[in-house]
Chain A
Amino acid sequence: MPLETATGAVRTGLIAFAFLSYLILIGIPGRIGGPALPVLALIAALFFWLKLRRESNEPSREATGQRQDSFDDKPGWEIGPRAASKGSRLRDLLHTHSGTAPILYGLLAGLTTGLLIAIVSGIFAAAMGNGIAIQPVLDKIVPLNVAALIGVSPGQIAQSDVSFIRFIFQVLLFAGAGVLAGLTAAGGGYGLKQAAFLDRLTTHLSGATLTSAGRFAGMALPFVLLAYIAWLGLPGVTAFGTNEGTVRLLLTLIATGSGLFTLRLSRPGREQMAVAVLLGLGVFSMPFILDQFQNSVMGLVFIFVMMGLGLNIVVGYAGLLDLGYVAFFAIGAYTYAFLSAPFSSPYISGLLILLGISPESPLLGYWMALPVAMLTAAVGGILLGIPVLRLRGDYLAIVTLGFGEIIRLFMLNLGELTNGPRGILEISQPALFGHTPVDVTFGLLSSQGWIFLLALVSSALVAFVATRLNESRLGRAWFAMQEDEDVAEATGVHLVRTKLLAFAIGATFAGMAGQLYAARQINIFPENFSLFVSIDALALIIVGGIGSPAGIVLGALALKGLPEVLRGVDEYRIVTFAALLVIMMIVRPDGILPSARRRIQSPDPEEAGAAGEPELREEDPGLRENGEALAKGAGVREEDP
């Protein structure tokens, strides 16, 4: 095996180990218990397999310079209709590889991961066996996890009667996982020349049948999950005996996320329409089948989806890095709070009394307040936009960051107007035809379910508007501005108008999200609107895939939903996300579900120009003719820089 392949395998092993450490850190093995190690090994195998597939795909990706429009083109995701035809191309490409290479690769990667796991769990086991106290926070989960990894009960570790064989077993297990991955990859395309039997088998079975079976299985997943979630909601049914609420939440997150993949797996046309309708029905039934806790989490997730979609207009479409996005969220929330909560500042109540309105009762209901909150946020967006029109890149980021903080400090310190750190309490709830939703639906829809439903509908609306705008001339102007601001202007894009529109529309969506957030929280405080909200919103679009609404939903599920599943290990949230982000960026640098535009790796335009020109010019046959023209006394063309 060539040296680069070997180092590549070791590196793959290291990345797998990093990812598994993350899973261990957030306490997954402890929760799984006995079968933890095989599960981790399987995850590692999956990772190796993806890696092997990706590597075998790389040349074909470079060869086809065209934009990858279909999700199926992304290596590792070829369950779709295109997989069959792709196989043969792969086969041609890989004939140079020897059949054993992927197996050795997998073995080496697996050995690396397994050794590291064994060493780390060994160290921890030894430490615990010798009674060395680990940091108090770690103590809560480490023993359980280490025990699960080694396959003993926590008590046994303390007695230090863990036999050495168990660690050997760990290494072997991961090595085996690696070999398995290698074998699978070989069967799937690598070693087909050698594995003539497999070749014949797949030909006979016709790839199409297999892949379409896999495709339909994948497409069925969200519906199966939804049915299971609904079943779990029935009285007297329990999941795995423990932690029922969390399990249901996790399944809900997976069902929602896999729904997006299902949509991509379906063939465009009638099939896609049918799937979309079914998915829509499924998703909109969720608020009715989940309980208060799950609904409140999903509500938050979709409030952040709205935020992400809005921020995506500014950052993803127009390319303006805005770190103060929370400001508009806060403006929306506080506007609604002012209009609907009993608290009223002395100024406002004075004004109200003058106008003959009682300051005690809420001024406007949710629906009447909605346009006001949106408008206020939009004005905020324009007010922020004007001073930063001429700023680019880092400078823009810093100034907007400041703006976000200013609004929060404003809410904090203008006590007379905003009630300062005591916040605004008892914000009224959105009504459904003038009644509470629980009454109207005969208890089917809980109050949090109602918020979730509203968040879903608003997100769908926002996604619709954002997508339509992006596909119009405005979207093209935004993208042109992102590509080259000066040229965009010289091509006829009115920069001021186009930028302010991005800021204003983005802010409007954040204002909507903020209003719903205020209704969900009932009481809001300035610290709800810290810098971290901006960072969360930005992180979720980066993780999900900048510019892609589906990616944003996935990002929100991962970043706002998962932590709630992991409530028990709250201390690790920040570490968790750092790790998750880093891994994400290594594995899928363009996000989980990137937009088509983001997927083409364009070289820097200036570089391209510089690289292209001199080459062409050196052997420019026109030079000689120039010389002749010059001889007639015209002039010399000097070498261009």
Chain B
Amino acid sequence: MTALLSIQQVTKVFGGLTAVDSVDLDIAERSITSLIGPNGAGKTTLFNCMTGLHRPEGGEILFSGRSLIGLRPDEIIDRGVARTYQNIRLFGRMTALENVLVGQHLRLQASHWSAVLRTSRQQAEERAAREFGRELLDFVGLSGREEVVSTNLPYGDQRLLEVARALGSRPSLLLLDEPAAGMNPSETDSMMDLVHRLRDEKGITVFLIEHDMKVVMSISESVAVLDYGEKIAEGTPEEVRSNARVIEAYLGPEVAVQEAAVKAVH
């Protein structure tokens, strides 16, 4: 099976710090893959390299067989790689629907002249875009919130809206940076359900960063682990869970046993 996304020997250096260190990773089409690792491991940096926000110092990133290195962010999303952000970055003063419409920006064709003249084609396109926007909001569970200004949305809904905005560009690969961060259990459950539906109903390949182990273990088909910029493990959730290096990376060599015992009591 060929990989939809193939990360090869990607390295990103900030000053003296190697945030991502020669990482290799393949993501299969229509899979759900998780990226985990302690804080500062370089997970977000890897996402930034994939979406053109950072330019890696070395390595190659192939998406559907074509290199993403050196492309601008808007060219990358045009290829079909969309993302959400760890610290929510919506267009705050826009309504939910407007956010999703911006998400569709690059899929809209009408010229600016036709917008001034309001030609019937341009109007039809706008109507279709609104319709699709409503569908997407409905899909992520935000129906009825179309006209709410996005900063006024509850926190969990803002995360959902980020997903909807990303879907506006009709991506084939969706990168989710900690989609369930800060959510309560029921919100987390619906986010997990949403991730499944993204893959099953829309056929989108999902690559997500997540700290919540319950989510990671139950949702992912494969898991990759980063530590200090290096990939230290990769495999099915079960394999990764029992990997000695992973446990060490998370807990530190001595406290590993202690800490695990304490948590077990709670």
Q: State the A residues within 8 Å of B (CB).
A: 65-67, 464-465, 468-469, 471-474, 476-477, 479-480, 483-484, 486-495, 501, 597, 600, 602-603, 605-606, 608-609, 612-613, 616-617, 620-622, 624-638, 640-641
Contact = CB atoms under 8 A, between A and B. Distances in A.
Name the residue among A483, A620, A635 with the largest chain B CB count within 10 angstroms: A635
Nearest to B76: A490
Contacts of B127: none
6 contacts: A600-B93, A603-B92, A613-B182, A625-B185, A627-B264, A636-B251
A635 B41 CA distance: 14
B102 A491 contact: yes
Contact of A487 (B89, B155, B168, B263): B89
Contacts of A626: 212-214
B90 A640 contact: no
B188 interface: yes
Given A491-B105, A491-B165, A641 B39 contact: yes
Given A483-B94, A616-B155, A622 B260 contact: no
Interface stretch (B9-17, B58-66, B144-152, B193-201): B144-152
Given A490-B83, A493-B74, A635-B246, A603 B184 contact: no
Contacts of A627: 263-264, 266
A597 B151 CA distance: 12
Given A472-B112, A628-B263, A629-B213, A489 B73 contact: yes
A472 B74 contact: no
Contacts of A633: 241-242, 247, 260
B4 interface: no
Given A471-B115, A472-B110, A473-B126, 11 more contacts: A479-B98, A483-B92, A483-B93, A491-B169, A501-B112, A605-B90, A612-B155, A620-B184, A621-B184, A633-B242, A637-B212
Nearest to A616: B182
B44 to A, nearest CB: 12
Contacts of B77: 490-492
Contacts of A624: 266
* Secondary structure class of chain B's binding surface, majority of residues: helix
A629 B217 contact: yes
Interface string B75-118: 01110000101011111111100100111011110101001101
Contacts of B55: none
Given A65-B152, A474-B112, A630 B260 contact: yes
A609 B87 contact: yes
B74 A490 contact: yes
B30 interface: no
Contacts, number: 198
Contact of B151 (A487, A603, A637): A603
A636 B250 contact: yes
B92 A492 contact: no
B51 A484 contact: no
A612 B182 contact: yes
B103 A468 contact: no
Contacts of B188: 622
A66 B242 contact: no
Nearest to A465: B116
Counting chain B CB atoms within 10 Å of each CB, the highest count among A484, A486, A637 belongs to A637
Contact of A492 (B105, B115, B242): B105
B203 interface: no
Contacts of A634: 213, 217, 240-241, 246-247
B242 to A, nearest CB: 6
B182 A617 contact: yes
Given A489-B74, A613-B182, A616-B155, A631 B260 contact: yes
Given A626-B214, A629-B217, A613 B181 contact: yes
B115 A473 contact: yes
B212 A622 contact: yes
Given A490-B51, A490-B83, A67 B112 contact: no
A472 B73 CA distance: 22
B176 to A, nearest CB: 14
Nearest to B87: A609
A487 B87 contact: no
Contacts of B128: none
B105 A609 contact: no
Contact of A469 (B115, B181, B242): B115
A371 B265 CA distance: 79
Interface centre among A468, A484, A491, A633 (most CB of B within 10 A): A491
B204 interface: no
